[in-house]
Structure 1
């Protein structure tokens, strides 16, 4: 294993342990998890929301959710890093949807929002993992690749994707699930 990968694995193991301790009500473990995980999670929120103030609000709301829902973390299903990333991403998507609902009645505001805010996909391009993820995404079939990108970088729901692609909802869910499994296999060292 490469030295950088070994350090990454150590950090992931520490995060797993801290999240498990948090689930049992250990406040010091929660504080340490917050300390080592917040910068990355805050970056995720800023990239998705494009407003620092809103990102800070979502970050705080999500950490409260972590405290209350840490007991649902299952190390066998995902790492703490993945569990936290998913929770924070979903909170950010909820906020984006809320924002879209607020401006839907005013087309000028909607156009301004779309023009001024780079997409989450553009933010992901700046990360060091973008190239690796891009290579793995290219291995997916075009429709599935598009569905995964829209679901995870644009916050489009499965229902919306199914309607856009004119396929049953169950088919869309299967596409996404199989695609994620294929991506996981590709991204795992």
Structure 2
């Protein structure tokens, strides 16, 4: 968490709406693009963005500095919110193909695309260094949006094994990405 993020977050926790707006302005494009990438639906992405900031403002999602970067935390909140809303829509509504065809998707800026590609390449490089088992867990959980229990059932593994492999994979990924950042491969948010 940068000093600016930390200060804004603490101000927001004490009811400062301007601080919330500044956090929103800083992260909205990243989170919106991420939600569109996960869902393929700009309306759902807007709903996700709104829900994420409501969770932050109402303190239903609370950042803990010792557990990682603020930017990683807010992206994780966005990911879970997006997956929840996708699941909710699948259960509660029947989507009409005509409505899907009318959805307008915004194109990310060239600068954002370049940054995403650079980070994506670094993440793919780091993922390649994981064991096959860990890579499978990361793919299922982060890229396919499966729950721990779903992964356990699909892979025919105990739930604890799935969670353990994911924890170990994340530990290795953090270490590898830290080394890549030190070499100048990724720029911190």
Shorter-chain TM range is: 0.7 to 0.9
Q: Higher mean Cα deviation, 13-22 or 30-39?
A: 13-22
Pick from 158, 175, 180 the counterpart of residue 168 of structure 1.
158
Number of equivalenced pairs: 162
SS at match of 1:143: helix
Aligned pairs for 1:145-184 within 5 A: 145-184=135-174
- Report the equivalent of 1:6: none
Aligned pairs for 1:1-189 within 5 A: 12-69=2-59, 72-102=62-92, 127-188=117-178, 189=182
8 Å contact kept, 1:18–1:30: yes
What is the TM-score when the length of structure 2 is the normalising length? 0.78
By how many angstroms is 1:98 displaced? 2.1
By how many angstroms is 1:78 displaced? 1.6
SS at match of 1:187: helix
By how many angstroms is 1:16 displaced? 2.6
- Give per-residue Cα distances to partners, 1:143-173, cap 9 Å, x unaligned: 2101111101111010011111111100110
- Report the equivalent of 1:115: none
- Give per-residue Cα distances to partners, 1:33-53, cap 9 Å, x unaligned: 111111111111111111111
Q: Name the Cα RMSD after superposition.
A: 2.4
Structure 1 alignment gaps of length 5 or more: 1-8, 113-122
Instruction: Identify if the C-alpha distance between structure 1 residues 150 and 75 changes in structure 2 by more than 3 Å, giving closer, same or farther.
Output: same
By how many angstroms is 1:70 displaced? 7.2
By how many angstroms is 1:102 displaced? 4.7
SS at match of 2:68: coil
By how many angstroms is 1:64 displaced? 0.5
